[in-house]
Amino acid sequence: MFPTPDLSHLTRNDYNQIYEPDADSFLLLDALELKLNEILEQKPFIIFEFGSGSGLITTFVAKHFCLTSCLFFAIDINPYACYSTKRTFQQNNLHKKHCLNIIQCNLADPLIDRLSSKVDLILFNPPYVPTETSDVKEVIERTYAGGKQGIEVIEKAIEQASRLLSSKGLFYMVALEENNFDTLKELANQVGLNIDIILKRRTLIERLFVVQFQRK
Amino acid sequence: MKLITHNMLTSNILKGVTRGFPLKIKADKMEHISVDYNRDFIARIIPRIEYDALRAAVNDLGLNESLPEAMSETLQQDDEFLKTMHKVLLEYEVEEGELICPETGRKFPISKGIPNMLLQETEVS
């Protein structure tokens, strides 16, 4: 098992502003590790993370899945998350090997045009909790509030991913049982993506799974 | 924000904007941070760069870097050119300033090196 990136620079104060890595984050890391060979075979060069938060996932990938220098994009709507991602990448000494682009924005809105069909690996631990609306004010709420069925943000991300992915690119995302796999499959099919469950885990409070998307 | 980041950003999600590229840059605070030169990496990045937009950014910032008017296949093998591209794309950091939509003039602040491209719902097309 790969060690978890060093997060010792992040304190309670930081976690009041950003999502603290939890069972869902670690499930995504485990799923990526399970797919290590498949990902390495693709030799990913451009890597994109939606909602990078602490920077744990981008940093983990940079450390273990990139043998040569890669071009990373990490976005978050929360400025504290953007700074934290930058700090975590530096704390783990990856900024000298790779180039990390951090942008405060909504999903891939300002990047879609230029990165269209160019991204080899996409990562997302989305706000998947069913709530009345995903349009909430507090940044910390926005880390989990997924709106109706928990899929309001997920739906947009799948659509954007279908435009960003390179021909053999891979997209890994965490989901909750209540998001409903059949719904996700329909969303994926609508935009020409295949979807497979690659790992499932039941935590104390949630039934989670990780899906892999790829162009048909 | 490095110039490679700038090269990937558009403002065309704004209502009424068609291309939104390249964004103009205004820098209030800039730094030069040296990065180890990696020839393979920069050679791999160059085909993905909009060269005219990069030249416009260099011009906006008033950098004393000479980039030839047009890029060519021969240039992409030229070590001097690759080193200049490395420096321009990866070593200049705009810490404070703004990006400006070329069509509407909408300003996007850059703070602590990170551009804020968030829009109000009413601004989105």
Which ipTM was obtained for this model? 0.96
Interface of A with B (CB under 8 A): 45-46, 68-69, 71, 73, 77, 79, 82-83, 86, 96, 99, 101-106, 109-115, 118
Kindly determine whether residue A71 and residue B45, on different chains, have CB atoms separated by under 8 Å: yes
Distance (Å) from the alpha carbon of A70 to chain B's nearest alpha carbon: 8
Q: Which CATH superfamily is domain A19-215 in?
A: Vaccinia Virus protein VP39 (3.40.50.150)
Ordered alpha helix ranges (H), B8-121: 39-45, 51-61, 79-86
Kindly determine whether residue A109 and residue B117, on different chains, have CB atoms separated by under 8 Å: yes
Kindly determine whether residue A111 and residue B2, on different chains, have CB atoms separated by under 8 Å: no
Write the CATH number for B86. Answer: 2.20.25.10
Q: What is the pLDDT of residues A163-173, one digit of tens each?
A: 999 999 999 99
Average pLDDT over residues B20-25: 98
pLDDT the model gives residue A135: 87
Q: What is the pLDDT of residues B46-96, one digit of tens each?
A: 999 999 999 999 999 999 999 999 999 999 999 999 999 999 999 999 999
Residue B124 lies in a domain: no
Instruction: Name which of B38, B45, B117 is nearest A103 (Cβ-Cβ).
Output: B117
Residues of chain A whose pLDDT is less than 50?
none
Higher pLDDT, B125 or A154: A154
Q: Structural domain of residue B78, as residue ranges?
A: 3-117
Distance (Å) from the alpha carbon of B79 to chain A's nearest alpha carbon: 19
Domain count, chain B: 1
pLDDT the model gives residue B121: 87
pLDDT the model gives residue A202: 96
CA dihedral (A52, A57, A191, A215) positive or negative: positive
CA dihedral (A133, A134, A137, A143) positive or negative: positive
CB A145 within 8 A of CB A131: yes
pLDDT the model gives residue B26: 98
In chain A, where the domains are located: 19-215
B contact residues 51-80, partner A, Cβ 8 Å cutoff: none
Separation of alpha carbons B68 and B73, rounded Å? 13
Residue B17 lies in a domain: yes
Cβ neighbours of B115 in A, within 8 Å? 103-104
Residue B99 lies in a domain: yes
CB A145 within 8 A of CB A136: yes
Separation of alpha carbons B68 and B64, rounded Å? 13
Kindly determine whether residue B8 and residue A77, on different chains, have CB atoms separated by under 8 Å: no
Residue B122 lies in a domain: no
Residues 6+ apart with CB under 8 A from A3: none
Nearest Cα neighbor of A100 from A54, A68, A58, A43 is: A58
